[in-house]
Structure formats: C-alpha cells, structure tokens
Amino acid sequence: MISVVIPFYNEENTVGKTVELVSKFVDFVIAVNDGSTDNSINNIPQKENVIVLHHKKNSGKGKALRTGFEESIKRNSKYTITIDADLQHDAEYIPKFIEAINNFDIVIGNRLHDLKDMPLQRRASNFLTSFLLSKKLNVKIIDSQSGYRIFRTKILKDILPENKGFEAESEMIVKAARKNYKIGFVDVPVIYGNDNSKMKSWQAIKGFIKVLFM
C-alpha cells in the first residue's frame, strides 16, 4: 500500500487539485491541514481514499509532515510519498519514484539538473545546503531542499523529524544517513508560479544551521 502525505497551510487555490491529481497514483492521500485560515479545507475532494488531519494552529511544515507520517505508519503503508500542495511538484512523476525506491530507502526529487526556471536565491541556497550536508554526512546529497520524496515506511520511525519548520526535511536526511539508509535521487521538473514561498530566509537559515550541528 502506498500513501502520500500532503501538508498544507492556506493553499485554497491549489490543494484541491493537488489531492485530485495524486489520488490517481496511490492508495491513500493523507492531507494535513496545518491550521489554515482560508478556504483550503473546503476545496479538498471528498473521496474514500482521502484522509484529512487537522492542526488547530499553524505549527510548521515539519510538524505537519510528522503528523502525516505517523498516520501512514499506523495504516501500515509500504511506501510513503511527500508532495507539496502548491502544484510545484508534478504528480505524473510518482511512478518514477515508486520504481526508484526499489533500490533505496529514500528517494528525493532532484530539481538541480535543470536550473533555468529556478529563482536565483533558491538555486544558491539549495547548492549551499546540499554541499554542506554532503560534507557533513560523507554522502552525496544533490537536492536537500526538495519536498518531493518517497520513503520505505518502515524506516520512518527512525527518522521522524523533531524540528517543526522547513529544516525538518534536512533533519530527516541527517538521521537517515547516520542510520546508513540508502538515499537516491530522481530527476523532476522545476515548476514555479509566483513563488510566494512560505519559507522565510532568515528562519530557514537558522533552522538549517541547527540541523547542521546535530
């Protein structure tokens, strides 16, 4: 069984379509509402294989991911996919992730193979964080900031994030490498719209530094 975790916070224009698209490829969609104050929740399709979990207040992407992972573990999923709710991840690539996970414990979507559409600030921060994590872990990390991933669910209990913000995704890489889990990558397209990212640069830097010195 394959589950996908979709954390969302105020994504009323995109979360419904995201759920609709990914539901074609997986057994369960676990949408985690991280305290949205807009109309997001009413735009999610009501389907038997769609589960919606709620945080009463906005707690951060890391906390939302953990809530979704715990639900996937409880449902005995074989694989757990994570995908963002803003349509910047192409759901059509899910079969490529499922194929790739046969040889790894975690597979991360690599956007850095095609940089022409990636904003310069994103490009620079991703190269830097990926480089520093690679040096720290002695494992080649190509795209540390991509939220498009697939995990063997059985390993999630060992790498559940403690950090509540965006740095949780780097934290999981650190924990996985320390457990000698195999990390692979699959090329995915770069899709950016208005790029109204919820990631605040200074907060993200502080969070990453904390993870780097774990």
**How many independent structural domains does the chain possess?**
1
pLDDT at 203: 59
Alpha-carbon distance 2 to 189, whole Å?
Answer: 22
Query: In the structure encoding, which two tokens stand for residue 190, read together?
Result: 């770069």
> Residue 42 is part of a domain; what is its CATH number?
3.90.550.10
pLDDT at 41: 95
pLDDT at 194: 53
Side chain identity at residue 32, one-letter code? V
State the number of CA atoms in the 13 A half-sphere of 45 facing the CB: 16
pLDDT at 111: 80
> In this structure, how many other beta carbons lie within 10 angstroms of the beta carbon of residue 11?
25
Q: Global pTM?
A: 0.88
What single DSSP character describes residue 193? Answer: S
Do 153 and 81 contact (CB within 8 A), yes or no?
no
Alpha-carbon distance 179 to 158, whole Å?
Answer: 8
Q: Is 48 exposed, middle or buried (0-12, 13-18, 19+ CB in 10 A)?
A: exposed
Q: What's the domain range around 19?
A: 2-212
What is the pLDDT tens value at each position of the chain, 214 positions in all?
999 999 999 999 999 999 999 999 999 999 999 999 999 999 999 999 999 999 999 999 999 999 999 999 999 999 999 999 999 999 999 999 999 999 999 999 998 766 566 655 666 667 788 888 888 888 999 888 899 999 999 999 999 999 988 889 999 999 999 999 999 999 998 776 654 555 555 555 666 667 766 6
